[in-house]
Chain A
Amino acid sequence: MKGKCYIQGMAAITPQHTFEGDLSQPLVVTHGNMLSCVEPDYRSFIAPNSLRRMTRVLKMGLAASLKCLQDSGIAVPGAIVTGTGKGSLQDTERFIKEIRDYEEKALNPTPFIQSTYNAVNGLIALQQKCTQYNNTFVHRGFSFEHALLDSMLLLHEGTPDVLAGAFDEITPEHFFIKGRIGHWKKEVISNDALYEHVSPGTISGEGAIFFLLAPTATAQSYAQIGGLEMLYKPSPGKLKTALPQFLQKNGLQVTDIDLVLTGANADSNHAHYYEVLNDLTHCPQLPFKHLSGDYETAGAFALWLAGQMLKQQQIPSQWFPMLQQPPARLRNVLIYNHFFGEQHTFMLVQAV
């Protein structure tokens, strides 16, 4: 597949102050292993009567998508493609409980409707009257990445622009459930000290992040998505050969990379995969999950970070106190992330 893919607009609702796209905001420090989003005032995006009915991740998803469209100056995108690991957890949990509590009788259908994984997509389409292609991927650490691949295919096929995004939320109940299978650290920590606590598990997070993608660059472009690679449960050997192959396929050598954003999350069960980056010692490697927490679609947050850094040509030092020496130039950013060792992704993000 040939063809270019540029980020023409972005918006992110995350556990950091990201909504206005201002990289000078202070680091939000949360004590406890569950990071929650800093939510914007939704009233400037969503009508009050709609707002009342909507649950949290629907609001987050819709507001982030609308802000992204505003940022890009495009009202009606040529397609809407999203990824989500969990959809609207609050609605799923509520409907399961209501089935039990009301013994399957006289149930309110709203949580059922909103629990549908493509509910956010439908809302965006409805609000913007977007009658074109609409798809939702729900595959853990490949949810956002396949949304991105689908978007790149669409651009390649001639769609003028695509709204691509990711959304996931965490609830206390689900935090507890995933804790039972070892997702989170046993010790209670603060996100700013994440990397000092290398032990089994990590910290949880959430986010709603959208991008407007187009095949041609303009003055407003944030960055170019140069390459994308997904590997399912790769062996260490496979992973080790896949990285240079990925760079080579995109016409780059290891030394062309100016910055690596890594999904390293201080989880000792799955930390060894990041050894694949040991050959990239010539440039800074910055972990990002102390900012976002870990969740299925955290890769979207890394892409947002890369896009902001490349456009603004700066790395926010208050968010990355581990950065010793800023890179001399910021042209090629490599993202490597995996979700609990299962879904591994490489992304190449380049300055325009």
Chain B
Amino acid sequence: MAERVFITGLGMITAIGDNVADNLRSLRAQKSGLDFTRQLDTIYKAVLPVAEVKHTTPALSEMAGVAGKEGYTRTALLGLIAMQEALQHAGLDSLEDESTGFINASTVGGMCDTENVYFDIADPEKTGDFVKYIDTLDCADCTQQIAEVVGINGPMTTISTACSSSANALMYGARLIKAGLVRRVICGGTEALTRFTLNGFNSLKNIDKRPCRPFDNDRNGLNLGEGAAYLVLESESLVKERNATVLAVLDGYANTNEAFHPTAPSPDGDGAYAAMKTAMEMGGCTPADIQYVNVHGTATLSNDVAEGMALQRLFGENVPKFSSTKPFTGHALAAAGGIEAIYAVLAISHQIIFPNLHFKDKMQELNITPETQLLEQYPVRHVLSNSFGFGGNNASLLISKYEG
């Protein structure tokens, strides 16, 4: 019988807070992190809102405790800050006593720094300091930088499935534990804003010039965000052995593919439906057991129709409370699944449901509307957290209250 997988530590940094407590405070204050960029060199500086972490890269290296050391990209620094909080939260001063894995997620690795020096790097006529960024071109660099600072000594890898990357990292980590290969894995993702991704989504006409409005009839696209989020996953036996506090249980998960279109979901949300249903069933839940769905809710025209249709199909007349927290954090791509998994844990541990900001009018295609109020003392036991990505990649996590 496979062991249950418990969540025992959380760490994050986003546009609405440098740690989990600050994130919760901003969520409660209904304070969006969307603004114009101060870090990114782009012609869209004052045109496209983004949810940027409010620190310069040198300030982040101070916060991460590596000030003055070279070779850390913004991606790695964001990740390192979140990782250190997660370990501290789980009460882990050192990882030496237990083989501890790290499953990270990234969409473009160190692009945030390399895109500024790429043409120097590729130019045989140019020499200089920029050569140190060559090793940060890929997605593995940030993972290894973070791992080496905190002393990861178990399985380590990086997943990249676009916007669902860190949900898949959590799933893979949980499966490594269930298979008995390791008893502790830290999973999540890190993402820094880049000109590359901003222009990518903008070229797809997927970015709203206004603050994004998920599930609103007048929505017109997403806003990008940045940040990092990690969750410490531990096996039931390890938790008992070291008498750790359990924050929540990762009870179910699913990864399905739509096989419909390289970047667009099917109009009926087949992939979203299958992912949510499978995750729910794996955790032994029926639709009536779910109190809250933290939707992918990017506010693109097609995502919200597909995801909304999937919710209606799965839950029928009784769709539970649902909201997108992307108006707070922006769409932090590879970090989004980790950020929202932490919000799911917070929803359970604080019995709270977060509002879907900027919603006004019901979508024509749907019968349902998201929760727009902050609900306190709401009995939350089971949360579904959705992350859907390019390549038809759909991931859903079922996070449940720990009840012994």
Name A's B-contacting residues (CB within 8 A). 1, 80, 85-87, 95-96, 99-100, 103-105, 107-109, 112-113, 115-119, 121-123, 125-126, 128-140, 142-143, 146, 149-150, 153, 156-157, 173, 176-178, 180-181, 230, 232, 342
CB proximity of B100 to chain A, nearest CB, Å: 12
A107, B140: Cβ atoms closer than 8 Å:
no
**Cβ-closest chain A residue relative to B168:** A135
Contact A104 B43 (CB under 8 A): yes
5 contacts between A and B (CB under 8 A): A1-B181, A104-B42, A123-B262, A126-B262, A180-B131
Asked if B199 and A104 sit within 8 Å, CB to CB, the answer is yes
Contact of A181 among B134, B147, B261 (CB under 8 A): B134
CB neighbours of B223 from chain A (8 A): none
Select one of B143, B152, B161, B256 contacting A118, CB under 8 A. Answer: B161
A residues within 8 A CB of B202? 104, 107
User: Once the chains bind, are B156 and A122 in contact (CB under 8 Å)?
Assistant: no
Given known contacts A107-B203, A116-B160, A134-B161, what 13 new A-B pairs fall within 8 Å (CB)? A80-B257, A95-B196, A99-B195, A99-B196, A113-B262, A113-B263, A118-B389, A125-B257, A133-B257, A137-B160, A139-B156, A146-B155, A153-B176
A130 and B259 contact, CB distance less than 8 A: yes
Inter-chain contact B200/A139, CB cutoff 8 Å: no
Most buried by A among B134, B138, B144, B176: B138
**Partner pick for B158 among A96, A126, A139, CB 8 A cutoff:** A139
B159 on the interface (CB 8 Å rule)?
Answer: yes
Contacts of B143 in A (CB 8 A): 139
Q: Is the beta-carbon distance between A129 and B259 smaller than 8 angstroms?
A: yes
A153 touches B179 (CB 8 A): yes
Q: How many A-B residue pairs have CB under 8 A?
A: 171
- A-contact bits for B246-273, CB 8 A (1 contact / 0 none): 0000000001111111110000001100
Q: A109-B200, A122-B393 are in contact. Are A131 and B274 (CB under 8 A)?
A: yes
How far, in angstroms, from A116 to B391 measured CA to CA in the complex?
A: 9
| Known A-B contacts A99-B195, A104-B43, A153-B179; A138 and B139 likewise in contact (beta carbons under 8 Å) | yes
Q: B262 and A119: CB pair below 8 A?
A: yes
Q: Is the CB of B156 within 8 A of A180?
A: no
CA A154 to CA B3, docked complex, whole Å: 17
A232 → chain B, closest Cβ, in Å? 6
Across the interface, A142 reaches (CB within 8 A) one of B106, B135, B157, namely: B157
CB-CB under 8 A from B389, the residues of chain A are 118
Chain B nearest CB: distance from A61 CB in Å? 12
Alpha-carbon distance A143/B104, docked complex (angstroms): 12
Q: Are B200 and A112 in contact (CB under 8 A)?
A: yes
Are A104's CB and B256's CB within 8 A?
no
Which chain B positions have C-beta within 8 A of A105?
43
Choose one: A108, A116, A142, A150; the contact of B162 (CB below 8 Å). Answer: A116
Is B11 among interface residues, defined by CB-CB distance under 8 A? Answer: no
In the complex, A132→B254 CA distance in Å? 9
Nearest CB of B to A194, in Å: 24
Q: Mark B41-60, 1 if CB is under 8 A from A, else 0.
A: 01110000000000000000
Name the residue of chain A whose CB is nearest to the CB of B181.
A1
Q: CB < 8 Å: which of A1, A86, A178 contacts B180? A: A1
By the criterion CB–CB under 8 Å, are A177 and B134 in contact? Answer: yes
Query: Known interface pairs A139-B139, A139-B140. Does A119 touch B180 (Cβ–Cβ under 8 Å)?
Result: no
Q: How far is the CB of A49 from chain B (nearest CB, A)?
A: 14
Pick the residue among A96, A112, A136, A139 that contacts B161 (CB under 8 A). A136
With A126-B262, A153-B176, A232-B156 already in contact, the answer to whether A178 and B134 are too (CB < 8 A) is yes
Whether A122 contacts B160 in the complex (CB less than 8 A), given A100-B119, A140-B138, comes out as no
- Nearest residue in A to B135 (C-beta to C-beta)? A181
Q: Give the CA-CA distance A103 to B158 in the complex, in Å.
A: 32
Within 189-246 of B, Cβ neighbours of A (below 8 Å) are at 195-196, 199-200, 202-204
Interface check B36, CB cutoff 8 A: no
Interface centre among B122, B152, B155, B271 (most CB of A within 10 A): B122
Contacts of A115 in B (CB 8 A): 200
B396 to nearest A CB, angstroms?
13
Given contacts A1-B180, A116-B162, A125-B391, contact A109 B122 (CB under 8 A): no
Whether, in the assembled complex, B327 has its beta carbon less than 8 Å from a beta carbon of chain A, the answer is: no
Residues of chain B contacted by A146 (CB below 8 angstroms): 155, 157
B315 beta carbon closer than 8 Å to chain A: no
Given the interface pairs A104-B195, A118-B389, A232-B156, the reply to whether A135 lies near B172 with Cβ below 8 Å is: yes
Cβ contact within 8 Å between B259 and A131: yes
The answer to whether the Cβ of B303 comes within 8 Å of any Cβ in the partner chain is no
Contact with A along B8-27 (1 / 0, CB 8 A): 00000000000000000000
**A180 with B134, Cβ < 8 A, contacts A1-B180, A109-B204, A125-B257 known:** yes
Instruction: Report A-chain residues with C-beta under 8 Å of the C-beta of B137.
Output: 177
Out of B107, B159, B180, B392, which one reaches A135, CB within 8 Å?
B159
Q: Which of the residues B147, B160, B175, B180 comes within 8 Å of A138, measured between beta carbons?
A: B160
Q: Say whether B43 contacts A119, CB under 8 Å.
A: no
Contact of B390 among A107, A118, A132 (CB under 8 A): A118
Q: CB-nearest residue of chain A relative to B118?
A: A96
A134 to B162, CA, bound (A): 12
Residues of B within 8 A of A132 (CB): 256-257
Central interface residue in A119, A135, A143, A156, by most chain B CB within 10 Å: A135
Name the residue among B155, B175, B199 with the largest chain A CB count within 10 angstroms.
B199
Closest to A104 in B: B43
